[in-house]
């Protein structure tokens, strides 16, 4: 038997996520794992969004601005790969493509 209730989360950036009718098992450890997973999902979502914004900035930038945006994007990609938010090979592929793009715009 599962219990249902509504939840509301606020992230560091101020975004609010509402979750309704969440099934929670009776076993304490399973309920805890669900809470942890939900918190991690929100945390990962904010970091993935920040990463995508940085990638967009690199693609839109030109000249020296592109180089600084690329440096920031590389830092975020490396951190995301380290934290398994994106796969390490996907991060490497994105960095390679962005480096090629930035080199072509100089």
Tens digit of each residue's pLDDT (9 = 90 or more) over 28-48: 999 899 889 989 999 999 999
* CATH number assigned to the domain covering 7-104: 1.20.58.110
The better pLDDT of the pair 14, 73 is held by: 73
Give how far Cα 14 sits from Cα of 1, 40, 46, 105, Å.
Answer: 34, 16, 10, 35
What lies within 8 Å, CB to CB, of 14 at 6+ separation is none
Tens digit of each residue's pLDDT (9 = 90 or more) over 72-102: 999 999 999 999 999 999 999 999 999 999 9
State the pLDDT confidence band at 16, using cuts at 50, 70 and 90: confident
Has residue 21 got a pLDDT over 70?
A: no
State the pLDDT confidence band at 22, using cuts at 50, 70 and 90: low
| CA-based max dimension of the chain | 62
Give how far Cα 15 sits from Cα of 40, 55, 100, Å.
Answer: 15, 21, 34
What are the extents of the domains in the chain? Answer: 7-104
25 torsion bin: left (phi>0), alpha (psi -120 to 50), beta (else) = beta
Which pLDDT value is given to residue 1?
Answer: 44
Q: In b/e form, how buried is each residue of 41-64, taking b as 16+ CB within 10 angstroms?
A: ebeeeebeeebeebbebbeebeee
Which pLDDT value is given to residue 11?
Answer: 74
Tokens 């918190």, residue? 39
């Amino acid at each position: 038997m599962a219990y249902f209730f509504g939840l509301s989360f606020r992230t560091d950036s101020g975004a609010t996520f509402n979750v309704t009718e969440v099934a929670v098992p009776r076993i304490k450890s399973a309920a805890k794992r669900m809470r942890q997973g939900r918190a991690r999902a929100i945390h990962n979502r904010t970091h993935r969004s920040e990463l995508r914004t940085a990638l967009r900035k690199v693609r839109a930038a030109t000249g020296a601005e592109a180089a600084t945006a690329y440096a920031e994007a590389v830092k975020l990609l490396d951190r995301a790969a380290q934290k398994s938010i994106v796969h390490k090979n996907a991060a490497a592929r994105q960095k390679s493509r962005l480096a090629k793009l930035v080199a072509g715009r100089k």
